[in-house]
Structure 1
């Protein structure tokens, strides 16, 4: 049994260096200085009685009581124990329970040494969620009609994103310890694309899923669904109709009552541990790509009573090419396109809740006491972020571990990312001023998808920096262990090494909207032999692997969400990654 250092408080007392700084997040704007202390910003911590609150250090608190030592690894509910597995190879495939995925030891950056399991101590354990993409499926600005040229443009499972996210929260709550060390899970970090359309309705659903409460995943007419799935169009799966649509021809079932069930009120228990938030491009911009905040005409279309549901393949191809080739960063062509097709639109019930939210409103919503849940207040963000117009911050995980959340969205438009020069300097300074602590960096974009250097309209003279620039900064510090991100909807673990021995791992995790719908537990350990290990373990939602088409309950729909994602036409089969991208031990030299 490995020796683990408890990282949460208990009635028996714990080592000071093991206490999680769950409520000690401090948002730091560019140029504001850095000390990771509540007094250094106006962030509300709500931790006046927490350990260290009166000692000039970051306020700390525990998320869960530590179990009695020795701690035992907890693999139940993880993909080490079992994985949803498809039956058959053709047609609509049902899911069942399959064998778990093994753990792979990665020695790309350092050689693992014998006996480390008996020596190691736990530094921290947390959960990463990413790319939840909570979708208001009836939103008038959605691009479902692009399916006429690209089958990936609309997914049959999209009406169930809220149900799936709640089931993921339930799974995380059920984990009684970390899979390797048994240490308590101290916090969760969601690495962006929490919403899909940058709509206020979706933001409210996301915050309620995470913090707990009741949600009615419906906008427009409160009595019925109004969208592409009851349109009668064969382009989309019509679950409650006899029409032989394109998806039913592939084996999708007819499910009477599906749409009524999908928009019924559901309840989320909320996470039972502190959670932090990182922004993604779909959270920052309408449709994840348009820098169109302030465009009143586009907002009117978003909240109005007309929705385009069908388009010729030729016209769809032109619009999709403009999106992919970044020819319309401010959405002006898209707005004109919708207005030109006004006569082809169908009537829907207008709803002000579908309005886009601004970056400032995103921050203010996180700071709303109604969504505090188990904390921290603001979930990493503070009033300092609101005042400075920034969405990046640092927080204390433990006395010897810090977390850094970056904003890699480009306000100039397009779905690929970058960071401003000021943020990059802040990152360098933060790492330098905390060189005695291990660091974990969080962002939405991966290093390879930070290629968009279009200027920020609010800071037109500031240079934008790419993923390679971020890699250069991270690689210049010995204390960086991992860069944790999402965006690509695929599991990928990438080593980054430098000749001087400074190295770290980049950990990208699959989404929770596309199959295989995963989150990831990450554990940091000191092997007490000159090496460290970062353990990654994937988890599925709490929904049963097997589906029952007659079960349209909240749980039944969460199970169906997973199975529909498996069968979505054109769904990629490589998003789970290779074995070395899933459940891993990532070894690296101690800096």
Structure 2
């Protein structure tokens, strides 16, 4: 059970979202929202284009709903880890300004190696908006470029970091589209037959939304419209301007495993990628349920179930561009000079990483603020992640090297004022979804490190400010409380850009000059309109429908939106400076 499905189960059971006496659970403690944060703070001078200004909201209260602009979300001050001092807005100095994008899932919707038919049991297996991921991402890139700077500090963005699941099914064609979207270039979001769509959305099966057909599928029963010409329009060439800010890449499980779940190297699936047979409809719902279970536990069972399907597969046009890439090939593509875009060369990956396969690195976000990009994927496959022991030790050594003024040579912590480097860490997985300790096939003897062990390590360093991640497709900000206020940090989890609410996050780091640092986080949406006519097949029109369909997905989970303390927030930290 992945992290998202586990929370759905807990929510259905009446636990997890609410703890003792109805208070939300933070770690293993009940957290009183009236204690952990102050009242809304004054808005910054520039809110245009962010959720401080407006947020997509539905029209009406039930059924299929169109979207419109709702009131912006206020800035909330969270004092969970340190008390915000008055007058800090006038004292503070901007140290860094960065953007997090995550879980964009650029997707080849016609790939033979997809298991859309299990979506009643695994909602992420199929989404009604999935033919328009390229247009949605380009619209997000346009928004980042138009914002240009942090709303609170007016500091130009120092970096953009994309925290994994950049592709959906580790195909070269998806990787090409992703790199073109972020670096700039032409994208034709079509595979197989260049003249027509060959996926489940024109299968005639009522299990999927068939937008160009009058069939009463389960999505039309839920209010989805009939839109002739939509699929053909979604396959037309589009152009991305590319980011204007240098960007860095982090591995996600969908960048490293078949459908983000299955182990690599299974010849049956490797051959399916570039083959001509696509399974669209199982024999029964029970067969789908069994396949869903096998995908997260036993690939051998899944192979047996696939071979037992008696419903004829669809014949589709083979396409060599669907070939799955390896982690080394993923890195090599980023290192290709043709994919440098706004830089840096390799987008964080070291020049030798294409040979070594090492997917983690450190980089300077801004003077005095260092980023550590982790590779939390497990090469053994499956949804959850972990770290190899060597990477874990590298993280420790990197933190020690930037913390010499906090520690004496005997390892004891220095408590007097010292000036040193701040760290922000990035990964795909969260602290609670790093529990996959299956051995790495390349290094079967190496121990795997769980998220809780990493949290303990980070608590040792007073200059760790935040751990920024994705994977859960949810907005959630968690205080990670250390033994002292200075050894605490914030875990910042941001929603995906494939499932609603389709947001990115700005993080501004400021020194309040009073013994505290603040992380000012602001969510933003793509620059597409909230609503268009259904015959608007322009790139912006398709990006708008991409958002609308994601909101109305029959599997949409409102909890992914998060609450006010997870949105636009000032996160205060005590420091030893």
TM-score range for the pair, normalised by the shorter chain length = 0.7 to 0.9
Kindly indicate whether the alpha-carbon contact (under 8 Å) linking 2:256 and 2:327 is maintained by their aligned counterparts in 1.
yes
Deviation at 1:548, TM superposition (A): 1.5
List runs of 5+ in structure 2 lacking aligned partners.
1-43, 404-419
8 Å Cα contact 2:475/2:560 also seen in 1 = yes
The whole-number CA distance in structure 1 between the counterparts of 2:49 and 2:462 is 35
Question: Partners in 2 of 1:301 and 1:354 — Cα distance?
Answer: 10
Q: 1:148 to 1:100 in 2, by over 3 A?
A: closer
CA shift, 1:145, in A, is 0.8
1:425 aligned onto 2:393: yes
Aligned-partner Cα distance in 2 for 1:313–1:353: 32
Establish whether residue 408 from structure 1 lines up as the match of residue 376 from structure 2: yes
Shift of the 383–340 alpha-carbon distance from structure 1 to 2, 3 Å rule, reads farther
Where do residues 39-50 of structure 1 align in structure 2 (5 Å cutoff)? none
Q: Any conservation in 2 of the 1:198–1:356 contact (CA below 8 Å)? A: yes
Equivalent runs, 1:546-565 vs 2, <5 Å: 546-565=531-550
d(CA) in 1 for partners of 2:322, 2:250: 22
**1:432-464 CA distance string (max 9 Å, x none):** 001120000000000000011011010111000
Partner of 2:75: 103
Q: CA deviation at 1:84?
A: 0.9
1:382 CA drift (Å): 1.9
Q: Deviation at 1:186? A: 1.4
2:331 to 354, 363, 380: 363
Select the residue among 488, 493, 501 that pairs with 1:516. Answer: 501
TM alignment of 1:114-133, pairs within 5 A: 114-133=86-105
Residue of structure 1 in register with 2:47 after alignment: 75
Change (3 A) 1:151 1:361: closer
Q: Are 2:443 and 1:473 aligned?
A: no
Is it true that 1:492 corresponds to 2:476 in the alignment?
A: yes
Structure 2 counterpart SS, 1:524: strand
Q: In 2, Cα distance between the equivalents of 1:284 and 1:269?
A: 27
Instruction: Give the conservation status (yes or no) of the 8 Å contact 2:208–2:217.
Output: yes
Report if aligned partners of 1:149, 1:314 keep a CA contact under 8 Å in 2.
no
Shift of 1:290: 1.7
Q: How does 1:323-334 map to 2 (within 5 A)?
A: 323=295, 326-328=296-298, 331-334=299-302
The residue aligned with 2:556 is: 571
Unmatched segments (≥5 aa) in structure 1: 1-71
Contact 1:392 1:405 in 2 (8 A): yes
Query: Post-superposition shift, 1:152?
Result: 5.3
The equivalent of 2:521 in structure 1 is 536
1:547 Cα offset (Å): 2.2
Are positions 1:585 and 2:570 aligned together? Answer: yes
Offset at residue 338 of structure 1 (A): 3.0
Aligned residues: 515
Q: Are positions 1:387 and 2:355 aligned together?
A: yes
Q: Could you tell me how far apart the structure 2 residues matched to 1:257 and 1:388 are? A: 46
Normalising by the residue count of structure 2, what TM-score does the alignment of the two structures yield? 0.88
3-state SS of paired residue (2:509): strand
**Who is 2:220 aligned against?**
248
TM superposition score normalised by structure 1: 0.86
Separation (CA, whole Å) in 1 of partners of 2:117 and 2:264 = 21
Matched, 1:235 2:220: no
Contact 2:184-2:239 at 8 Å conserved across structures: yes
Distance 1:152 1:421, change over 3 A: closer
The equivalences for 1:265-280 within 5 A come to 265-280=237-252
Matched, 1:91 2:76: no
1:309 aligns to what SS in structure 2? coil
Aligned mate of 1:219, from 182, 186, 191: 191
Question: Aligned runs of 1:157-176 on 2, under 5 Å?
Answer: 157-176=129-148
Deviation at 1:257, TM superposition (A): 0.3
- CA spacing shift, 1:372–1:150, aligned 2, 3 Å: closer
Is contact 1:131-1:489 (8 Å) kept? Answer: yes
How far residue 299 of structure 1 moved from its aligned partner, in angstroms, is 1.3
Residue by residue over 1:234-288, the C-alpha shift from the partner in whole angstroms, topping out at 9 and shown as x without a partner, is: 1111111111111111111110100100111011100011000000000011111
Contact 2:95/2:367 (CA < 8 Å) preserved in 1?
no
Kindly indicate whether the alpha-carbon contact (under 8 Å) linking 1:152 and 1:571 is maintained by their aligned counterparts in 2.
no
For 1:241, what is the secondary structure of its paired residue? coil
Superposition RMSD in Å? 1.3
Cα offsets for 1:398-453 (capped at 9, x unmatched): 23110000000011121100001110000000000011200000000000000110
The residue that corresponds to 1:60 in the other structure is: none
